[in-house]
Amino acid sequence: MATQKKVDNNNILSIDIGGTSIKSVLLDENGNMLNEYVKSKTPPEATPKDIVNGIAELVKTFPQTYNRISIGFPGYVKNGVVKTAPNLAKNKWEDIDLAQRVANTLGHPVRLVNDADQQGLGVVAGKGFEIVFTVGTGFGTSLLFDGELLPHLELAHFPINKEEDYDDYIGNKAFEKIGAERWNKRLKKVIETYKTVFNYDTLYIGGGNSKQIDFKLESNIKIVTNRDGIKGGAKLWKLADKYNIFTVSPKK
């Protein structure tokens, strides 16, 4: 629920780009929601132009009380530049300066990171080794230790068998192909693998298909929502100097 706290011009526009939807909300510096969380459908095979236009359309009615922007993107990002986008348009996203394009369109500086990393900043307790899964269009992961974001690893593209990586194995296309029962069995296998390999203190599971989980989770596994995760956009600005996250300013 959005807070009734008085807003100023030092707020943050937080955006979460997904293969299914683009989501956004205004946050204060502490991550409190200042308006209602809104979303729109991501176009099929979305190009960079589609995403920038979609963001501009989604937020055009927002009050102009923000002076910076956080974006979570479903792929590998370096210094505000998209390197991979496996669940958007093929062969259209390599070395795309998405942060610059959004900064120029909306007129404010942008920090762009992987979407699971932004969600991780929003949901973790900040104690010990914590991992975040997103099970939606694809499979996203972020790793944090005592609340600090560790270097991003595209674990979604690590092979799980001879034919599939984690994205193929547990993403939404697999869910639609094999059904909920088999998908849940696969998710159990993924959780057991991560438990063995990483020995995490807490695992958080978000993304649209987290609603499909039908088995009992261990006490150190928690379901989180996109509303929780998008709040990481505030922490991205509060803590980003520590992580050396690149800031892209509008070009005049």
Number of domains composing the chain: 2
Burial of 221 (0-12, 13-18, 19+ CB in 10 A): middle
For the chain, the farthest-separated pair of C-alpha atoms sits apart, in whole angstroms, at 55
Residue 110 sits in the same domain as residue 154: no
Question: What pLDDT is stored for residue 4 in this prediction?
Answer: 45
Residue 15 sits in the same domain as residue 112: yes
Condensed to tens digits (0 to 9), the pLDDT of residues 59-85 reads 999 999 999 999 999 999 999 999 999
Residue 130 sits in the same domain as residue 202: yes
Residue 177 sits in the same domain as residue 109: no
Residue 36 sits in the same domain as residue 159: no
Six-digit token string for 190:
């993924």
Residue 100 sits in the same domain as residue 170: no
Query: Is residue 189 domain-resident?
Result: yes
CATH assignment at residue 185: 3.30.420.40
Q: In the Cβ-directed half-sphere of 57, how many Cα atoms lie within 13 Å?
A: 12
Tokens 């994205």 identify what position? 167
Residue 113 sits in the same domain as residue 40: yes
- Supply the range of the domain harboring residue 45: 11-117+229-243
- Rounded Cα distance, 71 and 113, in Å: 6
Residue 137 sits in the same domain as residue 111: no
Q: Identify whether the C-beta of residue 24 lies closer than 8 Å to the C-beta of residue 59.
A: yes
Q: Identify whether the C-beta of residue 97 lies closer than 8 Å to the C-beta of residue 71.
A: no
Residue 21 sits in the same domain as residue 52: yes
Residue 36 sits in the same domain as residue 86: yes
Condensed to tens digits (0 to 9), the pLDDT of residues 99-130 reads 999 999 999 999 999 999 999 999 999 999 99
CB atoms within 10 A of CB 210: 18
Query: Is residue 148 domain-resident?
Result: yes
pLDDT category of residue 244 using cuts at 50, 70 and 90 = low
* Single pTM value for the model: 0.92
Residue 16 sits in the same domain as residue 113: yes
Question: What pLDDT is stored for residue 5 in this prediction?
Answer: 47
Residue 20 sits in the same domain as residue 111: yes
Query: Is residue 5 domain-resident?
Result: no
Query: Is residue 91 domain-resident?
Result: yes
